[in-house]
């Protein structure tokens, strides 16, 4: 209850703050807001809704997601996100959290693939169940060290594909991810661009997603982050929960190995 009240209070505060942020959007300001909110991240509301959705019987099969296996056994969420993406024998491929969630909604709950990916990203007046579920599931790895494996050949391949995509240049500006994310201390306007090839930066960037975005008033997942960066790159956006996005995620997640997972966090 107390947790919920803090979060509601935080949302009120944030409304004022986003207006201020729109004008300044400097790193210092964000640090100040983070401090003000301390342990009142509005993402808690998404986590709570996610937990409820996780336990609610839904879909044509009228079952909950509680038997979904994220790699550590059916229904085991503790530490699961810190080891994703990973190889899943039952589908013989590497999946990230969001692909796996879609898989469970289809196989356990009986949703059609189209229904299972409906509303991956929320907007005003249109909540996303996926963002809530992802918040809940990833929060169950908070405080744990990222430990993404590349023991399986398919995990290795996903990593290599992700790496290739990271360095692949093209589009109207001839950009790659590396153009913006492979130099220390680089900025675009006032935003710092993490150097994903520097382990400290890679850890800080990866371990804080999903994140409540003050500027958007929503919790955003890694899929959303990457779709937005493909846009920044002037590339066509890969499909939601596609293997290309899982490969890029594999590259980012593995580069963050050893970092302590701290999401869902709070970001500009
Ligand atoms: C044109 C520059 C540009 C390109 C190209 C680009 N990004 Fe980004 N990226 C950004 C900016 C700007 C942000 C911060 C956005 C914000 O704060 O709203 C960001 C944020 C990120 C973050 C989150 C960092 C954090 O600390 O939260 C990740 C991860 C990321 N990008 C990965 C990628 C990947 C992977 C690609 C290639 C598919 C890519 N980016 C391509 C500009 C770019």
For the segment 13-26, what is each residue's pLDDT rounded down to a tens digit? 454 445 445 445 55
Q: What span, in angstroms and rounded, lies between the C-alpha atoms of 57 and 111?
A: 12
CA of 64 to the centre of ligand 1 (A): 35
- Give nearest CA residue, ligand 1 atom 11: 193
Domain 2-267 has CATH 3.30.1490.20: no
Q: What is the pTM of this model?
A: 0.89
Q: Looking at residue 38, what is its pLDDT?
A: 59
User: Mean pLDDT score of the chain, rounded to an integer?
Assistant: 89
Q: Looking at residue 55, what is its pLDDT?
A: 98
CA of 223 to the centre of ligand 1 (A): 12
Assess contact for 145 and 260: CB atoms under 8 A: yes
- For the chain, percent of residues with pLDDT exceeding 70: 85
Instruction: Please name which of 171, 150, 154, 184 lies closest in space to residue 229, comparing C-alpha atoms.
Output: 171
Could you tell me the two tokens for 24?
A: 């300044």
Strands (E), 5-68: none
Q: Is 136 exposed, middle or buried (0-12, 13-18, 19+ CB in 10 A)?
A: buried
Assess contact for 127 and 121: CB atoms under 8 A: no
Q: What span, in angstroms and rounded, lies between the C-alpha atoms of 216 and 268?
A: 8
Assess contact for 260 and 204: CB atoms under 8 A: no
Q: Is 62 exposed, middle or buried (0-12, 13-18, 19+ CB in 10 A)?
A: exposed
Of 241 and 187, the one with more pLDDT: 241
- Give nearest CA residue, ligand 1 atom 18: 268
Strands (E), 93-166: 93-95
CA count, 13 A, side-chain hemisphere, 256: 29
84 phi/psi in degrees, rounded to 5 = -100, 155
> Which residues sit with their C-beta closer than 6 Å to ligand 1?
166, 175, 177, 179-181, 188, 191, 193-194, 205, 208, 225-226, 229-230, 232-233, 248, 252, 267-268
268 — pLDDT class (breaks 50, 70, 90)? confident
Q: What span, in angstroms and rounded, lies between the C-alpha atoms of 26 and 227?
A: 23
- Give nearest CA residue, ligand 1 atom 36: 177
Assess contact for 54 and 133: CB atoms under 8 A: yes
Assess contact for 82 and 141: CB atoms under 8 A: yes
For the segment 57-116, what is each residue's pLDDT rounded down to a tens digit? 999 999 999 999 999 999 999 999 999 999 999 999 999 999 999 999 999 999 999 999
For the segment 26-50, what is each residue's pLDDT rounded down to a tens digit? 566 666 666 666 568 999 999 999 9
- Give nearest CA residue, ligand 1 atom 26: 205
pLDDT value at 159 more than 50:
yes
Q: Where are the domains of the chain?
A: 2-267
Q: What span, in angstroms and rounded, lies between the C-alpha atoms of 237 and 240?
A: 9
Q: What span, in angstroms and rounded, lies between the C-alpha atoms of 18 and 256?
A: 29
Q: Which atom of ligand 1 is nearest to the CA of 206?
A: 29
Q: Residues annotated as binding site?
A: 68, 104, 177, 180-181, 225, 229
């Amino acid at each position: 209850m107390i947790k919920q009240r803090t979060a509601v209070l935080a949302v009120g505060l944030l409304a004022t703050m986003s207006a201020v942020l729109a004008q300044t959007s400097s790193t210092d300001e964000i640090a100040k807001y983070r401090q003000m909110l301390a342990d009142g991240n509005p993402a808690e509301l998404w986590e709570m809704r996610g937990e409820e959705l996780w336990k609610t019987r839904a879909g044509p099969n009228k079952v909950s997601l509680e038997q979904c296996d994220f790699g550590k056994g059916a229904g085991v969420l503790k530490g699961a996100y810190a080891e994703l993406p990973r190889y899943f024998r039952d589908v013989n491929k590497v999946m990230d959290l969001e692909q796996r969630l879609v898989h469970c909604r289809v196989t356990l709950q009986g949703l059609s693939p189209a229904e299972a990916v409906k509303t991956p990203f929320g907007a005003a007046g249109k909540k996303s169940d996926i963002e809530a579920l992802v918040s809940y599931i990833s929060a169950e790895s908070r405080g744990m060290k990222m430990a993404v494996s590349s023991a399986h050949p398919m995990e290795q391949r996903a990593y290599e594909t992700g790496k290739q995509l990271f360095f692949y240049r093209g589009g109207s500006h001839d950009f790659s991810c590396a153009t913006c994310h492979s130099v220390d201390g680089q900025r675009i306007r006032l935003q710092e661009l993490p150097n994903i090839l520097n382990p400290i930066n890679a850890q800080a960037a990866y371990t804080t997603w999903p994140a409540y975005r003050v500027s958007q008033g929503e919790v955003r997942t890694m899929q959303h982050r990457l779709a937005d960066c493909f846009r920044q790159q002037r590339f066509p956006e890969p499909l939601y929960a596609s293997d290309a996005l899982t490969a890029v995620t594999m590259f980012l997640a593995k580069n963050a190995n050893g970092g302590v997972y701290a999401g869902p966090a709070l970001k500009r």
